[in-house]
Amino acid sequence: MATSPVTPVEEYQSLLGVLPGQDLAWLRDLRDGALRRFSDRGYPTPRDEAWKYTNIAPLLKQSFIPSFSVEQPHKVLPTDIATSLFADADMPLAVFVDGAFNSALSNLSALPPGVELRSLREVLDHDGASLESLLVGMTPQEPHGFIELNTAFMFDGACVRIAPDTVAERPLHLLYVSSGAGQPVASYLRNLMIAGRGSRAAVIEHYVSLGDAAALCNVATHCMIEPGAALEHYKLNEEGAGAHHFAGLYVEQARDSRYVSHNVAVGGRMIRNDLRCVLAGEGAECVLNGLYLGRGREHIDNQTSVEHRVPHCSSREWYKGVLDGRARGVFSGHVMVRQDAQKTDAQQMNNNLLLSDEAEVDTRPQLEIYADDVKCSHGSTVGQLNPDVLFYLRARGIDEIQARRLLVTAFAQDVVGRMAIAPVREWAERLITARLAR
């Protein structure tokens, strides 16, 4: 199929009729506004401070058609996704293929009482009014082009509501599959997670590919953590070599809530996460736990920000990166302590391990403090494997690859150890081992 370059704006005009929530005037306004801003400002460039190390120019030369414009979506079989499931058959599972919910592959029969999981598309088409304040309210402060496009094109995603005081024993597994079939597609996903007052739950957002074909995934996830609620949120990226992944994660925490993010990124040509957590109620606590493993020419960029708005909140951020080959890692950690946020307790640390001379990392921890009675610390390190330690292990009969595995596993151990769900921990350990096989 020969196509002349189509701009996102033209694309939007022609596809408007396919997007969900046709009857919702506010949604139409939201989409229009985002698209207007996008057509004014376009995609981010390396001149934007937050995009200094992540150049998307090569990506823009490739063409991706919106996944929802594909007339014959690729059929994915249960056997295709079998290896992406965790060893717990009773874990509720919602599968999205190329940006659209797939009920045949999903298993929602095991959803515990008090936990609702629906396709965003379905909610927008049938019950859209309930989402107005959420979707309108979640526009980030400084949206970049990808977020604007996400708002304009949001098509489907997971809409998760945990009813007040619900304690969900099992995590929910949200599996996003890129089929890689046919013409390269762009998926526009929007997830909403609402942890009701006093509830406890865990959600696993998991991105995989069925091959190494080019694909673009543009996702925004919004988490509302109501008073006293606790949400443990995993974001696992293990897409194929052709995958480009742009994600925004926006978290708002009410009084005495706890939010734990585990952000694990491996694989893919380019992964960019914008993670923003606002501590808006006293006594709220957030933990941002991150691990990125890059090799080959992979590029992984995590831009994180924590805003302490009110007193007596704590934030902990631990990100670790292991970069091999010609991989590049970028970490930016911004902690903002507002004037009212006395007694803030904020810690941030980013450690990096470079396994080759050509691997690279740019790390930028930043503290911005306007309150005077706070406890804040930050730091970052970049190091290599110690040759004396490698020699010691080899002198004990352990071959070089295994010695490196042991040391990288040890390096990542505290990050992996913080993950409360055992099957995910085991997945992460296997991944580290497999990635170092050569």
Catalog residues that contact another protein under the rule CB under 8 A.
Answer: 386, 388-389, 391-400, 402, 406-407, 409-411, 413
- Identify which of residues 17 and 397 has a Cβ nearer to another protein in the complex: 397
CB 244 within 8 A of CB 207: no
CA–CA distances in Å: residue 16 to residues 68, 123, 152, 154, 250: 11, 18, 9, 11, 26
Count CB-CB contacts under 10 A for residue 434: 11
- Residue 382 CB, nearest approach to another protein (Å): 17
Consecutive H or E run containing 250: strand 243-253
The H helix count followed by the E strand count for the chain is: 10, 20
- Residue 394 CB, nearest approach to another protein (Å): 4
- Residue 387 CB, nearest approach to another protein (Å): 9
- Identify which of residues 202 and 353 has a Cβ nearer to another protein in the complex: 353
CB 170 within 8 A of CB 89: no
Q: Which two tokens stand for residue 239?
A: 């897409």
**R_g of the chain, CA atoms, integer Å:** 21
- Residue 403 CB, nearest approach to another protein (Å): 8
CB 154 within 8 A of CB 187: no
- Residue 432 CB, nearest approach to another protein (Å): 12
Cβ-Cβ contacts under 8 Å for 299 (sequence gap 6 or more):
54, 269, 270, 271, 327, 328, 330
- Residue 389 CB, nearest approach to another protein (Å): 5
- Residue 292 CB, nearest approach to another protein (Å): 18
- Identify which of residues 253 and 289 has a Cβ nearer to another protein in the complex: 289
- Identify which of residues 370 and 391 has a Cβ nearer to another protein in the complex: 391
Parallel, antiparallel or unpaired: strands 93-97 and 65-66:
unpaired
Degrees (nearest 5) of the Cα angle 260, 264, 270?
130
